Amino acid sequence: MKFHILTLFPEMFAGPLSTSIIGRGVESGLLGFELYNIRDYALDRHRTVDDAPYGGGAGMVMKVEPLTACLEEATRNAPGARVLLASPRGTPLTQKMAAELATEREIVVVCGRYEGIDERVRELFSAVEFSIGDYVLTGGELAAMVLVDAVGRLVPGVLGSSESAEDESFSAGLLEYPHYTRPPEFRGLKVPEVLLSGNHKEIARWRRTQALLKTSRIRPSLLETADLTGEDLRVLQELEQGGAR
Ligand code: ADE
Protein backbone atom coordinates (compact mmCIF):
# COMPACT_ATOMS: atom_id res chain seq x y z
CA MET A 1 0.00 0.00 0.00
CA LYS A 2 1.27 3.43 -0.87
CA PHE A 3 0.66 6.65 1.09
CA HIS A 4 0.97 9.98 -0.68
CA ILE A 5 1.49 12.64 1.99
CA LEU A 6 1.22 16.37 1.35
CA THR A 7 2.90 18.52 3.97
CA LEU A 8 4.86 21.70 4.60
CA PHE A 9 7.22 19.70 6.83
CA PRO A 10 8.25 16.48 5.08
CA GLU A 11 11.27 16.18 7.38
CA MET A 12 8.95 15.40 10.30
CA PHE A 13 8.16 12.00 8.78
CA ALA A 14 11.72 10.62 8.64
CA GLY A 15 11.64 8.91 12.05
CA PRO A 16 8.20 7.25 12.07
CA LEU A 17 8.48 6.00 8.49
CA SER A 18 11.87 4.36 8.97
CA THR A 19 11.45 2.88 12.45
CA SER A 20 10.13 -0.39 13.83
CA ILE A 21 7.20 -2.15 12.18
CA ILE A 22 6.38 0.58 9.65
CA GLY A 23 10.07 0.89 8.71
CA ARG A 24 10.21 -2.86 8.21
CA GLY A 25 7.06 -2.68 6.05
CA VAL A 26 8.81 -0.12 3.85
CA GLU A 27 11.96 -2.23 3.61
CA SER A 28 10.00 -5.29 2.57
CA GLY A 29 8.10 -3.29 -0.06
CA LEU A 30 4.67 -3.82 1.54
CA LEU A 31 4.40 -0.12 2.37
CA GLY A 32 5.46 2.83 0.26
CA PHE A 33 5.51 6.57 0.84
CA GLU A 34 5.72 9.59 -1.37
CA LEU A 35 6.12 12.91 0.42
CA TYR A 36 5.13 16.12 -1.34
CA ASN A 37 6.30 19.48 -0.04
CA ILE A 38 3.32 21.81 -0.59
CA ARG A 39 5.68 24.79 -0.68
CA ASP A 40 7.21 23.44 -3.89
CA TYR A 41 3.88 24.17 -5.57
CA ALA A 42 3.65 27.83 -4.54
CA LEU A 43 3.27 30.19 -7.46
CA ASP A 44 5.25 33.26 -6.36
CA ARG A 45 8.95 33.72 -5.78
CA HIS A 46 8.42 34.01 -2.02
CA ARG A 47 6.83 30.57 -2.15
CA THR A 48 3.78 31.77 -0.24
CA VAL A 49 1.47 29.03 0.97
CA ASP A 50 -0.83 30.93 3.35
CA ASP A 51 -2.82 34.12 3.52
CA ALA A 52 -5.14 36.06 5.86
CA PRO A 53 -8.70 34.71 6.17
CA TYR A 54 -11.54 36.41 4.31
CA GLY A 55 -13.89 37.87 6.90
CA GLY A 56 -11.03 38.65 9.26
CA GLY A 57 -9.92 36.91 12.41
CA ALA A 58 -6.72 35.47 13.78
CA GLY A 59 -4.36 33.11 12.02
CA MET A 60 -3.61 32.22 8.46
CA VAL A 61 -5.31 29.97 5.95
CA MET A 62 -3.49 27.64 3.57
CA LYS A 63 -3.99 28.94 0.04
CA VAL A 64 -6.02 27.04 -2.51
CA GLU A 65 -3.61 27.29 -5.50
CA PRO A 66 -0.46 25.57 -4.14
CA LEU A 67 -2.49 22.86 -2.44
CA THR A 68 -4.53 22.23 -5.57
CA ALA A 69 -1.41 21.97 -7.73
CA CYS A 70 0.18 19.62 -5.21
CA LEU A 71 -2.98 17.49 -4.94
CA GLU A 72 -3.25 17.35 -8.71
CA GLU A 73 0.20 15.83 -8.88
CA ALA A 74 -0.51 13.37 -6.04
CA THR A 75 -3.83 12.25 -7.55
CA ARG A 76 -2.16 11.91 -10.97
CA ASN A 77 0.34 9.56 -9.33
CA ALA A 78 -2.44 7.75 -7.47
CA PRO A 79 -5.47 7.78 -9.79
CA GLY A 80 -8.77 7.14 -8.02
CA ALA A 81 -7.17 7.18 -4.54
CA ARG A 82 -9.17 8.47 -1.60
CA VAL A 83 -8.09 11.90 -0.37
CA LEU A 84 -7.98 12.37 3.40
CA LEU A 85 -7.47 15.61 5.23
CA ALA A 86 -6.16 15.78 8.81
CA SER A 87 -8.33 18.20 10.74
CA PRO A 88 -9.60 18.53 14.32
CA ARG A 89 -13.12 18.88 12.91
CA GLY A 90 -12.97 15.59 11.01
CA THR A 91 -14.59 12.21 11.63
CA PRO A 92 -12.84 10.51 14.55
CA LEU A 93 -10.31 7.93 13.35
CA THR A 94 -11.29 4.48 14.60
CA GLN A 95 -9.88 0.97 14.31
CA LYS A 96 -12.73 0.16 11.92
CA MET A 97 -11.79 3.06 9.65
CA ALA A 98 -8.11 2.02 9.81
CA ALA A 99 -9.03 -1.55 8.80
CA GLU A 100 -11.08 -0.26 5.86
CA LEU A 101 -8.29 2.03 4.68
CA ALA A 102 -5.79 -0.86 4.94
CA THR A 103 -7.60 -2.54 2.02
CA GLU A 104 -6.88 0.40 -0.33
CA ARG A 105 -4.00 0.26 -2.79
CA GLU A 106 -3.08 3.94 -2.33
CA ILE A 107 -4.31 6.86 -0.25
CA VAL A 108 -3.56 10.55 -0.28
CA VAL A 109 -3.23 12.41 3.04
CA VAL A 110 -3.14 16.19 3.33
CA CYS A 111 -1.62 17.75 6.44
CA GLY A 112 -3.21 21.09 7.23
CA ARG A 113 -1.30 23.86 9.01
CA TYR A 114 -2.13 27.31 10.31
CA GLU A 115 -5.80 27.83 11.15
CA GLY A 116 -6.98 25.57 8.38
CA ILE A 117 -7.03 25.20 4.63
CA ASP A 118 -9.16 26.97 2.06
CA GLU A 119 -12.46 25.06 2.06
CA ARG A 120 -12.47 24.82 -1.75
CA VAL A 121 -9.62 22.29 -1.61
CA ARG A 122 -11.86 19.87 0.27
CA GLU A 123 -14.65 20.40 -2.24
CA LEU A 124 -12.47 20.07 -5.36
CA PHE A 125 -10.99 16.73 -4.28
CA SER A 126 -13.94 15.35 -2.27
CA ALA A 127 -11.49 15.10 0.62
CA VAL A 128 -12.67 13.38 3.78
CA GLU A 129 -11.56 15.03 7.01
CA PHE A 130 -10.36 12.82 9.86
CA SER A 131 -9.45 13.71 13.43
CA ILE A 132 -7.25 11.76 15.84
CA GLY A 133 -8.92 13.21 18.93
CA ASP A 134 -10.69 16.13 20.52
CA TYR A 135 -7.67 18.36 20.88
CA VAL A 136 -5.94 20.76 18.53
CA LEU A 137 -2.46 20.01 17.19
CA THR A 138 -0.22 22.60 15.57
CA GLY A 139 -0.71 20.80 12.30
CA GLY A 140 -1.89 17.63 10.61
CA GLU A 141 1.53 15.96 10.38
CA LEU A 142 1.30 14.08 13.67
CA ALA A 143 -2.27 13.06 12.82
CA ALA A 144 -1.09 11.75 9.43
CA MET A 145 1.65 9.75 11.16
CA VAL A 146 -0.93 8.25 13.51
CA LEU A 147 -3.09 7.31 10.53
CA VAL A 148 -0.12 5.79 8.68
CA ASP A 149 0.82 3.75 11.74
CA ALA A 150 -2.71 2.53 12.49
CA VAL A 151 -3.41 1.68 8.83
CA GLY A 152 0.04 0.47 7.80
CA ARG A 153 0.28 -2.19 10.51
CA LEU A 154 -3.01 -3.70 9.28
CA VAL A 155 -1.75 -4.17 5.72
CA PRO A 156 -1.39 -7.96 5.33
CA GLY A 157 2.16 -9.11 6.05
CA VAL A 158 3.32 -5.94 7.82
CA LEU A 159 2.85 -7.42 11.30
CA GLY A 160 4.82 -10.57 11.98
CA SER A 161 2.95 -13.64 13.22
CA SER A 162 4.03 -12.84 16.80
CA GLU A 163 2.49 -9.38 16.49
CA SER A 164 -1.00 -10.41 15.44
CA ALA A 165 -3.63 -7.66 15.44
CA GLU A 166 -6.45 -10.07 16.16
CA ASP A 167 -6.55 -10.01 19.92
CA GLU A 168 -5.89 -6.37 20.66
CA SER A 169 -7.90 -3.46 22.00
CA PHE A 170 -10.77 -2.35 19.76
CA SER A 171 -10.56 -5.21 17.28
CA ALA A 172 -13.20 -6.94 19.41
CA GLY A 173 -14.81 -3.65 20.38
CA LEU A 174 -13.38 -3.86 23.92
CA LEU A 175 -10.28 -2.57 25.66
CA GLU A 176 -7.67 -5.25 26.00
CA TYR A 177 -6.98 -7.33 29.13
CA PRO A 178 -3.76 -6.69 31.13
CA HIS A 179 -0.50 -8.39 30.10
CA TYR A 180 2.30 -9.90 32.17
CA THR A 181 5.62 -11.57 31.45
CA ARG A 182 8.41 -13.00 33.63
CA PRO A 183 9.22 -12.77 36.51
CA PRO A 184 6.13 -14.15 38.31
CA GLU A 185 6.68 -11.74 41.22
CA PHE A 186 8.20 -8.26 41.20
CA ARG A 187 8.42 -5.98 44.26
CA GLY A 188 5.69 -7.97 45.92
CA LEU A 189 3.36 -7.77 42.92
CA LYS A 190 2.32 -11.19 41.69
CA VAL A 191 1.15 -12.26 38.26
CA PRO A 192 -2.46 -13.49 38.53
CA GLU A 193 -2.33 -17.18 39.39
CA VAL A 194 -4.62 -18.24 36.55
CA LEU A 195 -2.08 -17.09 33.93
CA LEU A 196 0.47 -19.55 35.33
CA SER A 197 -2.05 -22.40 35.48
CA GLY A 198 -1.75 -23.62 31.90
CA ASN A 199 -5.55 -23.93 31.85
CA HIS A 200 -6.32 -22.23 28.54
CA LYS A 201 -10.05 -22.16 29.01
CA GLU A 202 -9.73 -20.46 32.41
CA ILE A 203 -7.12 -18.05 31.02
CA ALA A 204 -9.46 -17.06 28.16
CA ARG A 205 -12.30 -16.55 30.66
CA TRP A 206 -10.14 -14.41 32.96
CA ARG A 207 -8.95 -12.30 30.02
CA ARG A 208 -12.47 -11.73 28.76
CA THR A 209 -13.64 -10.70 32.24
CA GLN A 210 -10.70 -8.32 32.60
CA ALA A 211 -11.43 -6.80 29.18
CA LEU A 212 -15.07 -6.28 30.19
CA LEU A 213 -14.02 -4.82 33.54
CA LYS A 214 -11.52 -2.40 32.00
CA THR A 215 -13.94 -1.31 29.30
CA SER A 216 -16.83 -0.77 31.71
CA ARG A 217 -14.59 1.35 33.95
CA ILE A 218 -12.69 3.39 31.38
CA ARG A 219 -14.78 3.45 28.18
CA PRO A 220 -18.31 2.30 29.07
CA SER A 221 -19.73 3.67 25.81
CA LEU A 222 -17.80 0.98 23.90
CA LEU A 223 -20.02 -1.66 25.50
CA GLU A 224 -22.98 -0.31 23.53
CA THR A 225 -21.46 -1.40 20.21
CA ALA A 226 -19.23 -4.32 21.31
CA ASP A 227 -20.05 -7.85 20.21
CA LEU A 228 -21.17 -9.29 23.57
CA THR A 229 -22.22 -12.84 24.37
CA GLY A 230 -24.83 -13.87 26.93
CA GLU A 231 -21.96 -14.86 29.23
CA ASP A 232 -20.42 -11.37 28.79
CA LEU A 233 -23.70 -9.75 29.81
CA ARG A 234 -23.88 -11.98 32.86
CA VAL A 235 -20.31 -11.06 33.84
CA LEU A 236 -21.07 -7.35 33.37
CA GLN A 237 -24.15 -7.62 35.54
CA GLU A 238 -22.04 -9.29 38.21
CA LEU A 239 -19.42 -6.54 37.96
CA GLU A 240 -22.12 -3.90 38.30
CA GLN A 241 -23.32 -5.56 41.46
CA GLY A 242 -19.85 -5.11 42.91
CA GLY A 243 -18.52 -8.56 42.17
CA ALA A 244 -15.36 -7.31 40.39
CA ARG A 245 -12.72 -10.02 40.26
N1 ADE B 1 -4.88 18.92 13.02
C2 ADE B 1 -4.89 19.63 14.17
N3 ADE B 1 -5.48 18.94 15.16
C4 ADE B 1 -5.84 17.73 14.64
C5 ADE B 1 -6.49 16.59 15.15
N6 ADE B 1 -6.90 16.51 16.42
N7 ADE B 1 -6.69 15.56 14.32
C8 ADE B 1 -6.32 15.62 13.03
N9 ADE B 1 -5.70 16.67 12.49
C10 ADE B 1 -5.46 17.73 13.27
1-42 pLDDT per residue, tens = 999 999 999 999 999 999 999 999 999 999 999 999 999 999
pLDDT tens digit sequence for 81-114:
999 999 999 999 999 999 999 999 999 999 998 7
Give residue 74 CA to ligand 1 midpoint distance, Å: 21
With a 6 Å cutoff on the Cβ, whether 62 touches ligand 1 is no
For residue 100, the domain's CATH number is 3.40.1280.10
Q: Is 173 a domain residue?
A: no
With a 6 Å cutoff on the Cβ, whether 129 touches ligand 1 is no
With a 6 Å cutoff on the Cβ, whether 137 touches ligand 1 is yes
Residue 113: per-residue pLDDT: 85
Question: Could you write out the three-class secondary structure of the chain?
Answer: CEEEEEECCHHHHHHHHHCHHHHHHHHCCCCEEEEEEHHHHCCCCCCCCEECCCCCCCCCEECHHHHHHHHHHHHHHCCCCEEEEEEEEEEECCHHHHHHHCCCCEEEEEECCCCEECHHHHHHCCCEEEECCCCCCCCCHHHHHHHHHHHHCCCCCCCCHHHCCCCCCCCCCCCCCCCCCCCCEECCEECCHHHHCCCHHHHHHHHHHHHHHHHHHHCHHHHHCCCCCHHHHHHHHHHHCCCCC
Whether 142 and 192 share a structural domain: no
Residue 111: per-residue pLDDT: 98
Q: Is 165 a domain residue?
A: no
With a 6 Å cutoff on the Cβ, whether 133 touches ligand 1 is yes
With a 6 Å cutoff on the Cβ, whether 92 touches ligand 1 is no
Whether 62 and 140 share a structural domain: yes
102 lies in which domain range?
2-152
